[in-house]
């Protein structure tokens, strides 16, 4: 079994050395299509473009070739976290305060495992969330198993690309034979 947390700790310095922040490392695709998924972002824009993905992918491919951290064959996928991004770090909840999220806990708390609402921020190691009824929930970060932002107009506006140059042009690349 692959220890993804250990691989993430080893990958993070490689990603950081290129000027990016590591958002998440996951193994997806099961046994039929094992894929090491690496999500990263620019710390200043929280975005990643295709060139950024290429740079990270090349560095990690070299690192993987040298260190061979995963048994068997697999694909490497480097991507941006996207608009409705996963929230994986405590700082994500502070950065995205004011936006809506869905949070799942590892174990039930107050009779439930799912919470949705507006992120109010972070206090110590606790995520604050206000649901649609106005109830405030204090959720320990350590109890969160997964979380992601919910797609809203406010989020779309907050994550608009810094530049749309070239967005209306389609470039085709012919593969070499």
Taking only the tens place, the pLDDT of each residue in 135-177 is 999 999 999 999 999 998 898 888 776 555 655 666 666 655 5
Chain segment 47-85, per-residue pLDDT in tens: 889 999 999 999 999 999 999 888 888 999 999 998 889
* pLDDT of res. 165: 61
Contacts 24+ apart (CB under 8 A), 93-96: 93/119, 93/121, 93/122, 93/127, 93/141, 93/147, 94/121, 94/122, 95/46, 96/149
According to the model, what pLDDT value does residue 172 have?
65
Please state, as a whole number, how many other Cβ atoms lie within 10 Å of the Cβ of residue 15: 24
Q: How confident is the model at residue 129 (pLDDT cuts 50, 70, 90)?
A: very high
CA angle centred on 45, ends 39 and 51, rounded to 5°: 60
The four Cα atoms 119, 122, 125, 127 give a dihedral, to 10 degrees, of -10
How many whole angstroms from its chain centre is CA 93?
A: 12
Residue 52 sits at the vertex; the CA angle it makes with 50 and 55, to the nearest 5 degrees, is 110
Q: What is the pLDDT of residue 167?
A: 56
pLDDT of residue 92: 94
The residue behind tokens 């894929």 is 35
């Amino acid at each position: 079994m692959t220890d993804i947390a250990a691989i993430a700790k080893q990958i993070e310095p490689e990603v950081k050395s290129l000027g990016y922040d590591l958002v998440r490392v996951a193994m997806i695709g099961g046994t039929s299509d094992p894929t090491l998924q690496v999500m990263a972002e620019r710390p200043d824009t929280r975005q990643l473009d295709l060139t950024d993905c290429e740079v990270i992918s090349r560095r990690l491919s070299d690192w993987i070739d040298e260190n061979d951290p995963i048994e068997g064959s697999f694909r490497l996928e480097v991507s941006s976290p996207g608009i409705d991004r996963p929230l994986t770090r405590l700082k994500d909840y502070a950065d995205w305060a004011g936006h809506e999220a869905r949070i799942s806990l590892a174990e039930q708390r107050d009779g439930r495992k799912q919470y949705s609402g507006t992120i109010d921020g972070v206090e110590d190691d606790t995520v604050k969330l206000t649901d649609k009824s106005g109830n405030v929930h204090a959720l320990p970060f350590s109890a969160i198993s997964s979380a992601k932002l919910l797609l809203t107009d406010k989020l779309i506006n907050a994550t608009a690309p810094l530049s749309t140059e070239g967005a209306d042009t389609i470039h085709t690349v012919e593969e070499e034979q």
